Chains A and B, each alone.
Chain A
Amino acid sequence: MPALVVAIGVTLVVLMQCWVTGVLGDMIVFNANFATGHVKVMSQAYSENVDQTPNDLALLGTEEVLQNLSADYPGMEWVERIQFGGLVDSPDAYGETKAQGPGAGMAVDLLSPESKEAERLNLEKFLVRGRMIQAPGEIILSDEFATKLEVKPGDQVTLISTTMYGAMSITNFSVCGTIKFGATALDRGGIVADINSIRMALDMQDATGEILGYLPEGDYDDLQAGAISEAFNDKYNDTSDEFSPVMLTLREQGTMTMYLDMVEYFRSIIIGIFMVAMAIVLWNSGLLGGLRRYGEMGLRIAIGEEKRHIYRSLITESLFIGLAGSVLGTAIGLFFASLLTKGIDIGGMTGNSSMMMQSVMKARITPEAYYIGFIPGVLATALGTALAGIGIFKRKTAQLFKELQA
Chain B
Amino acid sequence: MIQIKHKVQIIALMLLITGTLWAQPSGDEILDRIDANMSSDTRYVKSKMVIHGPRSSRTVESESWTEGTDSFTEYLAPAREKGTKMLKLEDKLWIFSPSTDRTIQISGHMLRQSVMGSDLSYEDMMDDRKLSDVYDAGVIGSETIGETECWIVEMRATEEDVAYQMRKLWVDQSRYIPLKEELYAKSGKLLKKTELSNITKHGSRWYPGKITFKDMLKQGAGTEFIVDEIIFDVEIPEHVLSKASLR
Contact = CB atoms under 8 A, between A and B. Distances in A.
B56 A165 contact: yes
B128 to A, nearest CB: 22
Interface stretch (A92-100, A372-380, A386-394): A92-100
A109 interface: no
A170 B117 contact: no
A170 B116 contact: no
Contacts of B51: 166
B97 A56 contact: no
Interface string B54-94: 11101010000000000000000010110010000000000
B103 A166 contact: no
A96 B106 CA distance: 11
B104 interface: yes
B101 interface: yes
A160 to B, nearest CB: 6
Interface in A60-102: 87, 89, 91, 95-97, 100
Contacts of A170: 84, 95, 97, 99-100, 102, 104
B117 A158 contact: no
B35 to A, nearest CB: 31
B93 to A, nearest CB: 11
B53 interface: yes
Contacts of A97: 103-105
A172 interface: yes
B117 A163 contact: yes
Contact of B110 (A87, A166, A203): A87
B245 to A, nearest CB: 15
Contacts of B219: 45, 49, 54, 56-57
Contacts of A167: 58, 60, 78, 80-81, 116-117
B102 A158 contact: yes
A95 B117 contact: no
B121 to A, nearest CB: 13
A284 interface: no
Given A87-B106, A91-B102, A95-B102, A166 B97 contact: no
Given A163-B117, A166-B116, A167-B116, A172 B102 contact: yes
A338 interface: no
Interface of B: 51, 53-56, 58, 60, 78, 80-81, 84, 95, 97, 99-106, 110, 114-118, 219
